[in-house]
A and B are shown apart, each in its own frame.
Chain A
């Protein structure tokens, strides 16, 4: 589930990333239709609850409604919701950091940030 959410964040950020870089398998039908998760049959109610939550989280955590949170809790419990939020913080933050670091390194300013510091 977390890998599905991570891959959706990757799509939302518009960055190239491998679906296999973490070695976590995702069903090919889900991988091929992730952008269309709202209506594709490869996604069940739990998937949709988590992906809907992920999309709003990435845009603005303040915009998360009780209904979005309740939908996740209905399938994963209170602890599942907390675990998802913690994971999204890390995954979305890593994507933003990666993009920021790469952009600074690629800029025409003086010197390069040491790529090995990544």
Chain B
């Protein structure tokens, strides 16, 4: 699918993009469901219609449900999401709003819940999701609505 998009116009970079995506989803300490929480929050922040309506099959297999996905929205702090999910969402929000000004309380919660390796994995994943989703938005031509689509990590 990625190769059929505008990204295919630059094959020299596309292959690296695909390889990075595969590595992020298949390796590292965070599981697919938690990565999907980060990806879907990023999709909402960027308002990428395509990204918002995609569900990665490995995340669903890892236990992600539509009920959990529905909570990845404004007001998530008061939802039934786990502390880890809430912190993943907070990381994404901080990435976009004020990355250089993290409240001490948030930093302490992140350090208490995640190992260094998990935070590094989250940081790289959000960087990747952000770049990919903003590619889609910046290129334009996004429909206003799309049905939910279950897909696999691009190979």
Q: List chain A positions with a Cβ less than 8 A from chain B.
A: 13-15, 57, 61-62, 64, 66, 69, 78-79, 81-83, 85-86, 88-90, 92-94, 96-97, 99-104, 107-111, 113-114, 117-118
Contacts and interface: CB of A to CB of B under 8 A. Distances in A.
A113 B51 CA distance: 30
Interface residues of B, number: 43
Contact of B138 (A14, A64, A97, A102): A64
16 contacts: A86-B17, A88-B134, A92-B130, A93-B128, A96-B95, A96-B96, A100-B95, A102-B100, A104-B107, A107-B103, A108-B104, A108-B108, A110-B112, A113-B119, A117-B119, A118-B120
A79 B138 contact: no
B135 A85 contact: yes
A113 to B, nearest CB: 5
Contact of A89 (B104, B111, B135): B135
B120 A89 contact: no
